[in-house]
Each structure stands twice: as C-alpha cells, then as structure tokens.
Structure 1
Amino acid sequence: MENLQGLLEQAPVFVATYGLKLLAAIVIFVVGKYFAGVFKRLTDKLMTNRGIDKTVASFVANLVWGLVFVFTVIAALGQIGVQTASLVAVIGAAGLAVGLALQGSLSNFAAGVLMVIFRPCRVGDFVEAAGVAGVVDEITIFSTKLRTGDNKTIIAPNSAMMDGTIVNYSAQENRRVDLVIGVGYTSDIAKTKQVISAVLDNNQYVLKDPAYTVALGELADCSINFVVRPWVKTSDYWPAHFELLEQIKNALDEASIEIPFPQMDLNVKELPAQ
C-alpha cells in the first residue's frame, strides 16, 4: 500500500515532466507528417509543370517525403529523451551501404533525371549516343530505349548516354544534305554547275532559304569533285538524299557529262622478233 501511495503521489510529477514532452513529440510528429505531404505535393507539381517525366517527378516527390518524414521521426524521438545520435549514425551507415550496393543504378537514375531536365533528346528524335544510333522510343529513370533503322530495340543505360557525346539529328528544324559529285576532267565546269543547280531548283525537298551551295571542291586524281549542299527539312533528309543522287545522275547523263569511274589503260608494245 505504501508503494502504491508513493506512485500515486509521484504521478502528477511524472505527468508534468514527461507528459508535456510526449505531447510535444506527438505534435512534432503530426505537424512534420503534414508538411512532408505538403512538400511531396509541391515537388510533384513543380516538376510536372516543368514538363518532367511523371515517373521521375513521382520518384523525387516520394524521396522528399521520405527525407522529411525521417527527420520528423528523429526530432520526435529526441523530444521524449531518446538518444538520436546513435540512431542517425545507424541510418547514415545503412544509407552508405545501400548507396554503394546500388552505385550503378543510382548513377543511371541521376543521369535519367538530368536527361529529363536538360532534354538533350526527346521521344521521336534520331540520335547517336553510347555507340549506337536510333530513334528514341522511351526515356525511363534508369535507361533509354532506342529503335534502329532495321527495327532492332536497344536499351542503353542513362549513365552511358550522358557520359558520352549525344548527336541529335532531329533537334533542328532544317538539315543540310552534303553530296560530292565527281565529273570527268574534260567536262565544262560552268555547264556542270548549271545542270546540278537546275536539279536543286526543281527538287520538291530542297528549301529556297537557306540557299544551297554548288561549288568546285577538289581536283582529284580521276575527277573534278563538286560539293553540293542543299538544305531540307530534317524529316525529309533521307528521301531528299536518295532522290537528289538519282536526279543528278540522270541530269548529267542527259547533258552528256561524264561521271568517271576507276579504270586502267593497258598499252601493249610489239615485242622484237627473236
């Protein structure tokens, strides 16, 4: 009875001492959890408004929520007297171990976030990166899916994409077609330029602005080489390339302008009689 009476006498002191701390810890937890949700929604909204991929936005928003929630739990435990220094050390060690185990995946994720933010390429672009070339079909948080010209699917890690040079052939509205046309040394230079220019003027893909270039580029071993550089819409590059080669060949043939090819002249001398 005396022990019970002593406990009852100490109850108000215990409640006054620890009850307020417990109440403060509960308030910290509730408020912290509320703000974690606010930060999560705000992060997701900001990233979505900037056009960042929904998967990446959701992942980052959940990561922000987790960080705020962990900080809230640590603060609440510290309020009721729990030694949080060792807890923080354990969490830090665990985070370091997980980070080392997932080093490759984390680097791919970081590269994926950078790709979504800085947009070096978009879905539908034809790019050359990580030693491969193809049309971008999908950009995820860890990898990029490319489709080659012969319809093969290539999955390239985002870290490999960002660590090297990305050549985006679809980034600009217009693109220049670079052709080299060789004619024989007996050909008239002015006439050849006129024939090629007429083909470019009448081609359906060649743009008027920027203007095309037809110029003598090289006096080669067996031919006079002209550089032919018309501008076309990026989406028309390959149709224009193939069609121009065919049309220029036909036009030169009609104008009786020779297109040389490698050949060898063999002169046989009469041997002296034995």
Structure 2
Amino acid sequence: MSPSRIMSRAIVLGFLFFLSAPLLSQSLTDEAATIDQLETRLKAADKEAVTAAMTVWVDRVRSKEAELVALVEKRSSVEGDEKSRLEEQIDALRTERDALADKAMVIVKAAKAQGVDGADANEAFLSGLSTHLDLKDPNALLTFALNWIKSPQGGIKWGLNILAFFAIIIGFKILSRIAGKVVAKTMKASRMQVSDLLRDFFINTVRKTVYFIGIMMALGQIGIDIGPLLAGIGVMGFVVGFALQGTLSNFASGIMILLYRPYDIGDVVSAAGATGKVTAMSLVSTTLTTPDNQIVVIPNSSIWGGVITNITGNDTRRVDLVFGIGYDDDIGLALRVLEDIVTKHPKVLESPAPVVQLHELADSSVNFVVRPWSKTSDYWTVYWDITKEVKERFDKEGLSIPYPQQDIHLHGLPTDAA
C-alpha cells in the first residue's frame, strides 16, 4: 500500500473520530438511556467525555434534590389533604431523583477509575442522598414503603435479585453434585488405579469448586462486588499458607503418595524410622500400627522425603537364613539335611526354587545360606519353622552349631631367678 493511501485513510479515520466525539459525549448524557446502555457506551469513552457526562448527571441530581428539599420544607407548613398531596409529589420526585442518582453513580465510578478530579466528592454526594421522610407520620412511612416495593429500582429489583440469588445457589448445588458424579464415573471407567481417599478428594474438590463459583455469581447478582472479596480471599490464603507451611508440605506430600501409591492401607511398610502396618491414611499423615501394637502417626512430608520400604508390596517374599556348622563336621551331610528340611516344608514355594549353598568360611563356623520363597503372609511361619527344624535335625545328625571361639597360643616366657 502506497504512503499516500495510508495517509488518506488516516485522515478519514481521524475525521470520523472527530465527528463521533460529540455524539459519544451526547449519548453519555442521554437521560433516557438505561444503566446497561451507559455502561456499554462508557467502554469507548475517553476521559474528557466522561468528565463532561459526570458534570451533567450530577447537576441533574442536584436540581432534583433542590426541588425535593423545597417540597419537604413546604410539607412541614401544611396539614390535611394538602399534606397528603405533597407526600405523593415527594414520593414521585424522590423516585425520579433516585433513578437519576443510579445512572449518575455509574458515570461517577467510571470517572473515578480514570482519575477525574472531583469524582470522589460526587460519589460521596450521591451516596449520602436523604430519603426526606417524615418519621412522625405513619402514613408517610407506609406510603414510602409501598412505593419502594412497587418501584422498578426498589422492591421489584431486589425481589428479582433475591429470587435469582437463591435460584443460582440451588442450581449450582445441583450442578456440583452432577459434576461430582461425572468425575466419579470417569475415574471408575479409566484405567488409573487410584485409592479411595484420592478419588474422594478429587470428587469433593470438583463439587466445592463448582459450588464456590455459584456462590460468587449469586453474590454478584444481589449487587455485591466480588472483586474485593476475591482479593481478600487471596490475601487471606497467602497469610494462612505462610503460617501453615509445614501442614501444606504434608498436604502436598499426601497428594504425591496418593498419586504414586508406594503403599496402601493394610500394607506393612518401613518409613521415617518406623515399621508397621498402615491402618489409616490422610492428606496430612499416615498412621502405622507396630508389631507390638503401638500406634505411630507420621507426617507425610517425612515419609515422602525419605526411603519407603513396602514389606508386603508383593505376594511372595524370600526368607533369608544363615546356619553354621563346625569345621570338623561333614559339609555334604549338612547340605542334604538343609535341602531336605526346606523342600519338605509345606509352605515353601517350588518356584522360585529355594537356594541352599555353602556361603562363607567364617572365624568360628562354616556358614550356609538357606533362601526359600514363600507367600508374604507365610514369611514368619516359614522362618520360625525352618529355624526350629534345623536345630532339631542338626542335633539328631550329630552336626554341631559352634560357639564363637578363638585360639590363643602361649609361648614360653623367661622366669625371674628366685
């Protein structure tokens, strides 16, 4: 595109903007415009247009307020039918003023956001408008209440907003349950093997998140600005998070444990210096019951940050035993006895095959390793049975189980003359 063409288009756009500026300013001061229309027009308005519109709208409200004050002063000097007639005029004028004030407040807030001078003072003026009620006159109070209820900006508006509030709350409550069921079915249908605790955590998180969104929308429906509320929740969350760093660390570790599942409830594990059966798990801690029936509660961060040994993680387990005989005993006989004991035990598995081998020529004994396999639940039964049987068979076959011994050699020492 040639430079002359670009220049011509820029001139046309500038001319159109110049022509549209007065129209935009005029549309912001249109008394017949609704609040939604004003908010839409404010998006395209510059600071100068907003400043001019604020002046016009506030002047309109001040004019209506002056008329209202004049009628209120006149009301105090009349009685009877004349006073009733003035009350009706005051109510009608108050309604007009309040409608103008609502629209003016939209303009003033936009001006305040753009840093227009005087916006704060105008906002205070609009917020402090009086109802000018005669509190001593019950009829005036009743008339005001009835008119407020019938007013589109009063009772009708608030009634619809309250209905919408409860409708949103109920709707999102139902939606949260549906979302929870969808998550539950999705996790059940997937091939991921997750613990019940993790599944419940995800389901509850989705439900509460959906319900929280509904509460925020409902509060916005009744006119509460949720922006500062969300900011306050964020700040409070930061403070609480800083104060509970250790707890949050345990929480994060609990999530990792539930995701990777190094152990589950019912497993016997060794972690963080403790060994026992896992009886309870939460997002913060894991509870073990030790073999002597003690209850140990371990923070999840201590478990996840160290070595985790799942003793019952597999269905089968190898039993490691070591037996020794004397140096003068028959090695072949010892091998045959040990193999016979292992192969005849009913709870020793055939596959993997057990191992019986001469392993070490120790200081005091010739040591054999005996390594049968069993089901994890039969581990200690096999361990104790084979140990008992080896002692009995060694005694029967004349094989000794030597004590630790040491040879001491004494050399002749010279004696002192008597």
TM-score (norm 1): 0.79
Q: How does 1:25-44 map to 2 (within 5 A)?
A: 26=165, 31-43=171-183
Larger Rg: 2
CA pair 265-102 structure 1, distance change in 2 beyond 3 A: closer
CA pair 71-269 structure 1, distance change in 2 beyond 3 A: closer
2:300 maps to 1:213: no
**In 2: Cα distance, 1:80 partner to 1:135 partner:** 54
Counterpart residue number, 1:53: 196
Counterpart residue number, 1:174: 316
Q: Is the 8 A contact 2:162 2:222 kept in 1?
A: no
Q: CA deviation at 1:47?
A: 6.3
**In 1: Cα distance, 2:340 partner to 2:293 partner:** 37
Q: CA deviation at 1:248?
A: 1.5
**In 2: Cα distance, 1:86 partner to 1:140 partner:** 34
Bigger Cα displacement from structure 2, 129-138 vs 263-272 = 263-272
Q: Is the 8 A contact 1:214 1:227 kept in 2?
A: yes
Residue aligned with 1:261, SS: coil
Residue aligned with 2:327, SS: coil
CA pair 254-209 structure 1, distance change in 2 beyond 3 A: same
Q: Comparing both chains, which one has the higher relative contact order based on Cα–Cα distances under 8 Å and sequence gaps of 6 or more?
A: 1
Bigger Cα displacement from structure 2, 134-143 vs 189-198 = 134-143
- What is the aligned-residue identity percentage? 37
Bigger Cα displacement from structure 2, 107-116 vs 204-213 = 107-116
Q: CA deviation at 1:64?
A: 3.3
Counterpart residue number, 1:95: 237
> Matched residue pairs, number?
272
**In 1: Cα distance, 2:341 partner to 2:287 partner:** 39
Bigger Cα displacement from structure 2, 219-228 vs 204-213 = 219-228
**In 2: Cα distance, 1:68 partner to 1:131 partner:** 41
Q: Which amino acid aligns with 2:176?
A: A
Gaps spanning 5+ residues in structure 1: where? none
Describe the superposition over 1:157-206 as per-residue Cα deviations: whole angstroms up to 9, x where unpaired: 22322222221111111111111122223333333211210111222321
Residue aligned with 2:349, SS: coil
CA pair 57-267 structure 1, distance change in 2 beyond 3 A: closer
**Structure holding more strand per residue:** 1
2:293 maps to 1:151: yes
**In 1: Cα distance, 2:221 partner to 2:303 partner:** 47
Residue aligned with 1:133, SS: strand
Residue aligned with 2:212, SS: helix
**In 1: Cα distance, 2:242 partner to 2:413 partner:** 83
Q: What is the RMSD computed on CA atoms of the aligned residues? A: 3.6
**In 2: Cα distance, 1:92 partner to 1:2 partner:** 49
Q: How does 1:39-188 map to 2 (within 5 A)?
A: 39-43=179-183, 52-53=195-196, 60-78=202-220, 83-188=225-330
2:393 maps to 1:251: yes
**In 2: Cα distance, 1:230 partner to 1:220 partner:** 22
Q: Which amino acid aligns with 1:5?
A: A
**In 1: Cα distance, 2:196 partner to 2:274 partner:** 23
**In 1: Cα distance, 2:207 partner to 2:244 partner:** 21
Q: CA deviation at 1:24?
A: 11
**Structure holding more helix per residue:** 2
TM-score (norm 2): 0.55
Residue aligned with 2:385, SS: helix
Residue aligned with 1:135, SS: strand
CA pair 85-217 structure 1, distance change in 2 beyond 3 A: same
**In 2: Cα distance, 1:272 partner to 1:90 partner:** 95
